[in-house]
Homo-oligomer: A and B are copies of this chain.
């Protein structure tokens, strides 16, 4: 696996694996972070390479271009 020093995206949230739901092609991984659960859909093949287990420390990364912003109503 590549020796990555750093990844450019600023959106990097530390957490730990608290759930993994597997299926043949894609799996859903739940990561508990400081702001709550982040859900990630990844290929099951890539998940095997990382060999993730419940409780493992991980980082959830996502690009700024993928983020939508919602204005909140004050009702």
A residues engaging B (CB < 8 A)? Answer: 1-14, 21-29, 31, 33-43, 45-47, 49-50, 52, 56-75
Contacts and interface: CB of A to CB of B under 8 A. Distances in A.
Complex copy number for this chain: 6
30 contacts: A2-B7, A3-B75, A4-B7, A4-B73, A6-B71, A8-B47, A10-B45, A11-B39, A13-B35, A21-B24, A25-B26, A25-B41, A26-B26, A28-B45, A39-B64, A40-B67, A41-B63, A41-B65, A43-B64, A46-B64, A57-B72, A58-B69, A58-B70, A58-B71, A59-B72, A61-B67, A62-B62, A62-B68, A63-B65, A66-B66
A66 B40 CA distance: 7
